[in-house]
Amino acid sequence: MVRYSFFWLLLLVFAFLNAMIRELTYKNIFGEFLSHQISVFTGIFLLSFPIAGVAKYFPFSSARQAIVVGLLWLILTELFEYGMIVLWSKKSISEFSQAHDVFHGELWILILIWIAVSPYLFYRFLSRS
């Protein structure tokens, strides 16, 4: 399981790549809010590459392990986000919560769902191959 914890760092690299693409290309065109919504979908796409790579080259031993890894990556992602928003940026916990507010159009929850379920989905897909 420790190995999969380190693989989460690959997800972090791809998340930063996604943010860099957003900031350097379409943010000025679409504005802050819409560009963040768009980057949820580009993020899901980009994160699929390292997750599929881990599932293929370091296969999960069982469906249960794939589920546990997805939950581990979800927790690590949220801890990182909390650290970046609340601790590093000195913003309030309510601002952290706003990023999860689907009733105000925030789509971040979709990335979290993808991070949690995709290891299992790739495990199932690759097990059939």
Domain borders along the chain are: 2-128
Comparing 2-6, 7-11, 57-61, 93-97, the range with the smallest average pLDDT is 93-97
CA 82, chain centre distance (Å)? 14
* Tens digits of residue pLDDT in 50-93: 999 999 999 999 999 999 999 999 999 999 999 999 989 888 88
Residues 124 and 129: their CA atoms lie apart, in Å, by: 9
Among residues 63, 42, 66, 45, the alpha carbon closest in space to that of 54 is found at: 66
For the purposes of burial, counting CB atoms within 10 Å of the CB of 51, is it exposed (0-12), middle (13-18) or buried (19 or more)?
A: buried
pTM equals: 0.93
pLDDT at site 41: 98
* pLDDT value at 129 more than 70: no
Mean pLDDT, all residues of the chain: 96
Phi, psi of 106 (to 5 degrees): -75, 135
Instruction: Please give the pLDDT value at position 91.
Output: 86
